[in-house]
Chains A and B, each alone.
Chain A
Amino acid sequence: MKFGVIRFPGSCDDIDALQAAARVGDAALLWHADHDLEGVDAVIVPGGFSYGDYLRAGAIARFAPVMTEVEEFAREGGLVLGICNGFQVLCEAGLLPGALLPNVTLKFVFRQVDLEVVRSVGPFMGACETDQRLSIPVKHTTGRYYAPDEQLDRLEAAGQILLRYAPGQNPNGSLRDIAGVCNERGNVFGLMPHPEHAVDPLGGSTDGLRIFESMRAHVEQHVLA
């Protein structure tokens, strides 16, 4: 199974994402200006400051040539994971519901947080256990998840909230402690915490690997089988 990690001008977590993905499968970098996903089985939109985050985080990146291919790939059911800035890009592109606003403290936060796995099923959480907690770092200034109240009710009812910050650990003022959401079909997932920074025991936690392992298992069972 092969992961593709998109590199935009201003991406800075692309190499960490590449190396994390390479722990569970093959991984290659994709270039923002190419109309080509090079036949990868899953796409990762990594963290950073794509196109300088000018105007709004992710607002310009969503019009990058490669994003046309990502949208097509997602429409066909391909797995797309957006991490931090990648989550912002996917929201701006309309591939995920909601938006990310500046942290309620207006401060950059960089700390390890505990995340509650809301549903341990599906292509992104399948390798987790029910009620498991994942210890994964956050590092962002614009991570306050927002969607109108009625939409949040619908997302909850449809099981699209996959991760929440553990009680008392919400680092940014996200509504209903939401840390990660998926689309209706379940094949596009975005989260503010950085699973690619929690893959090596030296970093204090390997919980981030669960997400990459879930994706590999899904692709092996449903796409490559």
Chain B
Amino acid sequence: MRARVLVRPKAGILDPQGQAVERALPALGFEGVRNVHVGRLIELDVDDPGRLPEMCERLLTNPLIEDYEIEQ
């Protein structure tokens, strides 16, 4: 089964990458953009999607600094 794991920096942790993108957009004329955060997308084919949460906790994310969301 095809699955996607969306990884985000945890809310409240300083995200300089998001801030850099947020500052860059108005310079190109894209006004009115706020709260930009940059994360990571992991796509995978998996036989047993029930094991995805464990994969996320143990390797795909660092739960101390990242939140994740699984899409199947």
Residue of B nearest to A103 (CB): B16
Stretch from A33-41, A42-50, A94-102, A131-139 at the B interface: A94-102
B1 interfacial contact with A, CB 8 Å: no
Question: Which residues of B4-32 are within 8 A (CB) of A?
Answer: 13-14, 16-17, 20
* B-side contacts of A105, CB under 8 Å: 16
B14-A104 in contact (CB<8A): yes
Interface size on B (CB < 8 Å)? 10
* B-side contacts of A148, CB under 8 Å: 64
Residue of B nearest to A148 (CB): B64
Minimal beta-carbon separation of A219 from chain B (angstroms): 31
Minimal beta-carbon separation of B69 from chain A (angstroms): 17
The CA of A215 and the CA of B64, in the complex, are separated in Å by 30
Contact of A102 among B16, B62, B64 (CB under 8 A): B16
A106-B62 in contact (CB<8A): no
The CA of A37 and the CA of B53, in the complex, are separated in Å by 33
* B-side contacts of A223, CB under 8 Å: none
Contact of A101 among B13, B20, B60 (CB under 8 A): B13
A146-B59 in contact (CB<8A): no
B65-A106 in contact (CB<8A): no
* B-side contacts of A63, CB under 8 Å: 59
> Which of A63, A98, A101 is packed against the most chain B CB atoms within 10 Å?
A101
The CA of A144 and the CA of B13, in the complex, are separated in Å by 11
A92-B16 in contact (CB<8A): no
* A-side contacts of B59, CB under 8 Å: 55, 59-60, 63
The CA of A59 and the CA of B64, in the complex, are separated in Å by 13
The CA of A67 and the CA of B60, in the complex, are separated in Å by 18
A173-B14 in contact (CB<8A): yes
Residue of A nearest to B13 (CB): A146
Contact bitstring B26-65, A, C-beta under 8 A = 1, else 0 = 0000000000000000000000000000000001101011
A-B contact pairs, 13 of them (CB 8 A): A55-B59, A59-B62, A60-B59, A99-B64, A99-B65, A101-B13, A102-B17, A103-B16, A105-B16, A106-B20, A146-B65, A173-B14, A173-B16
Top-9 shortest CB links A-B:
A99-B65, A99-B64, A104-B16, A106-B16, A99-B62, A56-B62, A146-B65, A106-B20, A101-B65
Q: Which residues of A approach B to under 8 Å, CB–CB?
A: 55-56, 59-60, 63, 92, 98-99, 101-106, 144, 146-148, 173
Add 19 more A-B contacts to A106-B17, A147-B64 (CB < 8 A).
A55-B60, A59-B59, A59-B62, A60-B59, A63-B59, A98-B64, A99-B64, A101-B13, A101-B14, A101-B65, A102-B16, A104-B14, A104-B16, A105-B16, A106-B20, A144-B14, A146-B65, A148-B64, A173-B14
Q: Which residues of B approach A to under 8 Å, CB–CB?
A: 13-14, 16-17, 20, 59-60, 62, 64-65
